[in-house]
Amino acid sequence: MDFRKLERFIFNKVSASRLPGLSIALVDSDEVVWQRGFGFRDLERGLKTTPATLYAIGSVTKSFTAVAIQQLAEQGKLSVNDPLEKYIPEFSIRPFGEQIRLWHLLSHSSGLPGLGFSEARFREAMGGGGVWLPIESHESILYFIEDAGSWAAARPGERYFYLNEGFILLGAVIENLTGMPYNQYVIENILKPLKMTHSLFERDDYDKVEDKAVPYVVGAERRDPASYVFNPVNAKGGLISNVEDLARYVRMHMHYGELDGARLISAESSKAMQTGRVRTTAVNSPFGEISYGFGLAITDDFFGTKLVGHGGSVSISTSYIGFLPEKGLGVALITNGSGYSTQQFGQYALAMMMGEDPDDLPFVQKEKVYAMLSGHYSGYRNTTQVSVKPAGDYLMLQLRDDRDALPPVPLTPVELTDKKCTFTTLSGGSSLEVEFFIEEKHISLLYERYGYRKALTA
């Protein structure tokens, strides 16, 4: 397979988003079919990334926690239908009077909305100020969440709310049942059997490694080196790994719990992880329903097949694993910053591996349209000026006058075609239609009572 198209796509997106570096590996059921690094693991020293470069993988760690819970269930030490209180008696939160069970935590359906521990911890560690949370153990998290019951927004099992704190509690269950620290349990029962020999949790082990990526705070003008937050509470997102190791982990899931003679969990348990339990908050997805299983997200219709995966972010490092169980294809990638979506990198690669044209992906099509619509627009005889630029899923329209910049106006897409693109925004409490017309030599923009034009270059 020719990977030049994928390489070009990655290079362009890494460049546009100012990501320092990225490592990626593509696999089929039998082996790694392609892997490489892009950019730099250390900008100051001019060191390039490799497939062996270590990064923090963030919430991809949650799937490792889910594997551990499935192992303990197979050993008869727990049932995912058990209430959390059975293993942590101090836990007393009952949303709307109902017990939170282990499967509710595994599927982010406890009924509790996200409580912000990780966000506050990362913000404080990056010098952003805010709340200091001295949570160094599973006992500490119980103090943090003890009043969270009054924040319950649904009964357990009814609704999806991504809850980092729930996976911290699952880590406590693992420790209470095994008598082992979470890190040690994962190393002995997941990493070693899979021969993930470079993956680790502890700073002392991390500091000994030469091929590791410096994490960066990526801004519009600067990339500032940062450092990871190491914490004993790791079940929600504390693993450090590389794409060589994650490729083995992805292949284990593609083989339903086994790799190279090492069986971690039964096929039944593996399929349970890959079965959606609750629909996520994503609606009207171009890929059908998106649901969450046990530590893994499930997309129903990715070019007609099921896509299973998970992303991760610790703000200064981002990651994604994804695989197509019916096709036997998978991807693992990690970056040392925040920029372009790692999930979209992964979906582009998987589409290409399937033989589909990745440029047909909805997000790629939208990005092309947004790039075309972006730029500076002038009114009649240059009497008025506006600029348009992408901002995630939105376009931002910026009106300017000679005195100061007015607040930017967010434009929400309604319909995007090759001749006309329609957006909406709010004005005076009412919905306002904003239209772009793509003509041969220019693009016309109609906003409120004004018309604007941007010339198209040949």
Rounded alpha-carbon distances, angstroms, from residue 129 to 100, 132, 164, 215, 232: 33, 8, 20, 19, 22
When pLDDT is averaged across residues 242-256 and rounded to a whole number, the result is: 98
Give CA–CA dist 246/244, Å, rounded. Answer: 6
Vertex 447: Cα angle to 443 and 448 (nearest 5): 155
Query: Model confidence over 86-97: pLDDT tens digits?
Result: 999 999 999 999
- 56 near 275, Cβ under 8 Å? no
Strand partners, 24: 36, 333
The three-class DSSP label of residue 69 is helix
Confidence of residue 358 (pLDDT cuts 50, 70, 90): very high
Extents of the domains making up the chain: 4-360, 367-455
Q: How far apart are the first and last CA of the chain?
A: 33
Give CA–CA dist 21/372, Å, rounded. Answer: 27
When pLDDT is averaged across residues 43-52 and rounded to a whole number, the result is: 98
- Compute the residue count for the chain: 458
CATH H-level superfamily of 4-360: DD-peptidase/beta-lactamase superfamily (3.40.710.10)
Confidence of residue 135 (pLDDT cuts 50, 70, 90): confident
Query: Which residues, in sequence order, are CB contacts of 33 under 8 Å at separation 6+?
Result: 1, 26, 27, 353
Give CA–CA dist 309/4, Å, rounded. Answer: 24
| Neighbour tally for 127: CB within 10 Å | 9
Confidence of residue 404 (pLDDT cuts 50, 70, 90): low
Query: Model confidence over 191-208: pLDDT tens digits?
Result: 999 999 999 999 999 999
- 274 near 257, Cβ under 8 Å? no
DSSP string, 227-283: -----S--TTT--EE-HHHHHHHHHHHHTTSEETTEESS-HHHHHHHTS--EE-S--
Query: Model confidence over 373-395: pLDDT tens digits?
Result: 999 999 999 999 999 999 989 99
* Sign of CA pseudo-dihedral 89, 93, 97, 98: negative
Rounded alpha-carbon distances, angstroms, from residue 161 to 66, 105, 127, 140, 408: 17, 10, 27, 22, 30
Which region among 115-119, 340-344, 449-453 has the lowest average model confidence (pLDDT)?
115-119
Rounded alpha-carbon distances, angstroms, from residue 260 to 193, 246, 249, 269, 334: 10, 15, 11, 18, 24
What is the side-by-side strand order in the sheet with 290-292?
47-48, 32-42, 21-28, 329-335, 318-324, 305-313, 297-302, 290-292, 278-279
Query: Model confidence over 412-452: pLDDT tens digits?
Result: 999 999 999 999 999 888 999 999 999 999 999 999 999 99
Q: Could you list the beta-strand ranges (E) of 103-144.
A: none
Q: How many CA atoms lie within 13 A of 272 on its CB side?
A: 18
SS (H, E, C) 329-367: EEEEEEECCCCCCHHHHHHHHHHHHCCCCHHHCHHHHHH
- 159 near 111, Cβ under 8 Å? yes
Topology given in CATH for the domain delimited by 367-455: Lipocalin (2.40.128)
